[in-house]
Amino acid sequence: MSLKVYNTLTRQKEEFQPLSPPQVTMYVCGPTVYDNAHVGHAMSSLVFDIIRRYLQYRGFTVRHVMNYTDVDDKIIMRAQYEEIDAMELAERYIVQYGDHLADLNILPASAYPRVSTEMDNIVRVVQGLIDKGFAYEVDGDVYFRVAKDDDYGKLSRRKLEDMSSGSRIDVDTRKESPMDFALWKAAKPGEPAWDSPWGQGRPGWHIECSVMTIEHLGEQIDIHGGGNDLIFPHHENEIAQSESFTGKPFAKYWLHNGMMQLAGEKMSKSLGNLVTIKEFLSKHEADVLRLLVINSSYRSPLTFNDEVLEQTTRALERLRGGLKPAFPQASGAPDEALQSLVEQLEKSRSGFNESMEDDFNSAGALGHLFDLVRAINQARDARATAEQLSESQEALEELTGVLGLRMQARLADETGAGPFIDMLLEVRKELRAEKLWALSDKVRDGLKALGVLVEDTKDGTSWRWE
């Protein structure tokens, strides 16, 4: 099999061939830390976590870097408003985002560089661009000279002429071209500032990612990822800076995730239509968000609303149901039942792989896992023993694990209520033996009201948190 990935740069699926296998270098643009992160940010981190996990499952060694933008206009404005230090504000949200990543079961990156810790490198690269004629200084600002970069616009497929005509950018007459963008901005009074050959100032937005990529992964990398709202201008400018500086192709594959949609619109801070990760996790399990992401193409917009969350929660229950144990008194399933389980396991495993090979088609892969769940349930119903189910259930755990699902339902003893619930169910068992249905149902309904689902089977009664 061969892995195909959709490359924004070429607008087509290409065979994935890293520069020096089995090593894969991947840089993903992280958040600007000035406020609570929302589920759209989580989506992006989840998408690239799934990609990373699949690459590792497939035998690649992934070096993964995600940055935090901790020097930025909005951080400064917010800090001034709250009357605290800008770095302190950024630190607060960096810590919070790190917690979110852990809560969401996202594998730790190899490095989390920040603008504030890369300042020397940034200055060095900006100076290098000036030296090579790709940038110029005006009144303490440094701008990238777009006209000097002959393939500028190749990622977003824009032509300079098209852009300047319809431009909404205020024309800064000091710039040679309206499309020239800032590499370094002179400090205004009261703003955080760093020393540079052009005076006190701070970096422009795009340069940090070029510098961090080169510093932490090298001048040429395999995968550069981020939301598709970053294609222009951010990634376009990264390419311009990096390739002008190094003279080499920058990232081989550009991967972009679609936007989270709330009420038909992109979820964003500026539109104010957002659900923070904190809010989400207070109401739902992390696996629900991950399953939502898995169940559609990472490149497409993702519908996010209460109805879909409800559906996804149910789907997660079903998926986990495949891991329920064999019946305690199971005596063994007939050969043909076991045979069809084995066949479905093979089909599901190969189907899963084929789907994921096709540009990480996790939704297709998930479909094959649900087929496996059904087969396991059928075998269990046919009295398969734990031993007879184990191979399939282990495969289900392995493959859902590749997608990063934890598959752990809320633990029974999490609240310490387990022994009390067990005792109630023991009493209920006696009530049922006496056929006192009204009373036994009262116990079940009462527990249900407290979030405990009671299920009777031939082999006894089990319960779980709703």
The separation between CA 296 and the C-alpha centre of its own chain, rounded to angstroms, equals: 13
In the range 356-375, which residues lie near RNA by CB under 7 A?
358, 361, 363-364, 366-367, 370-371, 373-374
Among 303, 347, 383, 412, interactor with RNA by CB under 7 A: 303
| Residue 219 or 358 having the CB closest to RNA | 358
| Residue 247 or 433 having the CB closest to RNA | 433
Shortest CB 163 distance to RNA, Å: 5
Residue 266 sits in the site that holds RNA (CB under 7 A): yes
Residue 203 sits in the site that holds RNA (CB under 7 A): no
| Residue 173 or 458 having the CB closest to RNA | 458
Residue 91 sits in the site that holds RNA (CB under 7 A): no
Q: What is the DSSP string of 196-253?
A: -TT-SEEE-TTHHHHHHHHHHT-SSEEEEEEEGGGIIIIIHHHHHHHHHHHSS--EEE
Tell me how many residues contact RNA (CB under 7 A). 87
| Residue 73 or 99 having the CB closest to RNA | 73
In the range 384-413, which residues lie near RNA by CB under 7 A?
none
Among 44, 196, 393, 400, interactor with RNA by CB under 7 A: 44
Residue 166 sits in the site that holds RNA (CB under 7 A): yes
Among 51, 142, 231, 255, interactor with RNA by CB under 7 A: 231
In the range 57-86, which residues lie near RNA by CB under 7 A?
69, 72-74
Distance CA 94, CA 272 (A): 21
Could you tell me whether strands 23-28 and 61-66 are parallel, antiparallel, or unpaired per DSSP bridges?
parallel
Shortest CB 233 distance to RNA, Å: 6
Q: What is the DSSP letter of 458?
A: T
Shortest CB 319 distance to RNA, Å: 8
Residue 32 carries which side chain, given as an amino acid letter? T
Piece of the chain touching RNA by CB under 7 A; list 101-109, 163-171, 191-199, 276-284: 163-171
Q: What is the DSSP letter of 71?
A: S
Shortest CB 434 distance to RNA, Å: 11
Q: Is 388 helix (H, G, I), strand (E, B) or coil?
A: helix
Distances (CA, A) of 243 to 149, 246, 284: 9, 5, 43
Structure tokens that stand for 302 in this block:
């993702």
Shortest CB 464 distance to RNA, Å: 9
Among 378, 401, 407, 465, interactor with RNA by CB under 7 A: 378
- Judged by phi (left if over 0) then psi (alpha if -120 to 50, else beta), residue 61 lies in beta
Shortest CB 20 distance to RNA, Å: 26
Helix (H) or strand (E) segment spanning residue 465: strand 460-465
In the range 330-349, which residues lie near RNA by CB under 7 A?
none
Sign of the C-alpha dihedral computed for residues 410, 414, 415 and 420 taken in this order: positive
Please, what is the Cα angle at 303 between 301 and 307, to 5 degrees? 175
In the range 278-297, which residues lie near RNA by CB under 7 A?
295-297
Q: What is the DSSP string of 148-175?
A: G-TTTTTTTT--HHHHHHT--SPP-TTS
Contact between residue 185 and residue 202 where contact means Cβ atoms under 8 Å apart: yes
Q: In this structure, how many other beta carbons lie within 10 angstroms of the beta carbon of residue 245?
A: 23
Structure tokens that stand for 134 in this block:
């790709």
Among 23, 117, 300, 390, interactor with RNA by CB under 7 A: 300
Shortest CB 381 distance to RNA, Å: 5
Residue 200 sits in the site that holds RNA (CB under 7 A): no
| Residue 335 or 416 having the CB closest to RNA | 335
Q: Which residues pair with 457 in a beta bridge?
A: 460
Residue 109 sits in the site that holds RNA (CB under 7 A): no
Residue 272 sits in the site that holds RNA (CB under 7 A): no
Among 172, 195, 279, 381, interactor with RNA by CB under 7 A: 381
Distance CA 324, CA 420 (A): 22
In the range 21-40, which residues lie near RNA by CB under 7 A?
29-32, 38, 40
Give 3-state DSSP helix, strand, coil % of the chain, rounded to 5.
Answer: 50, 15, 35
Contact between residue 268 and residue 239 where contact means Cβ atoms under 8 Å apart: no
In the range 426-445, which residues lie near RNA by CB under 7 A?
432, 437, 440-441, 444
Piece of the chain touching RNA by CB under 7 A; list 85-93, 112-120, 255-263, 279-287: 255-263
Shortest CB 8 distance to RNA, Å: 9
Among 136, 232, 327, 465, interactor with RNA by CB under 7 A: 232
Among 268, 276, 385, 415, interactor with RNA by CB under 7 A: 268
Residue 1 sits in the site that holds RNA (CB under 7 A): no
Please, which residues have CB within 8 angstroms of residue 155's CB and are 6 or more apart in sequence?
8, 9, 231, 232, 235, 236, 239, 254
Residue 311 sits in the site that holds RNA (CB under 7 A): yes
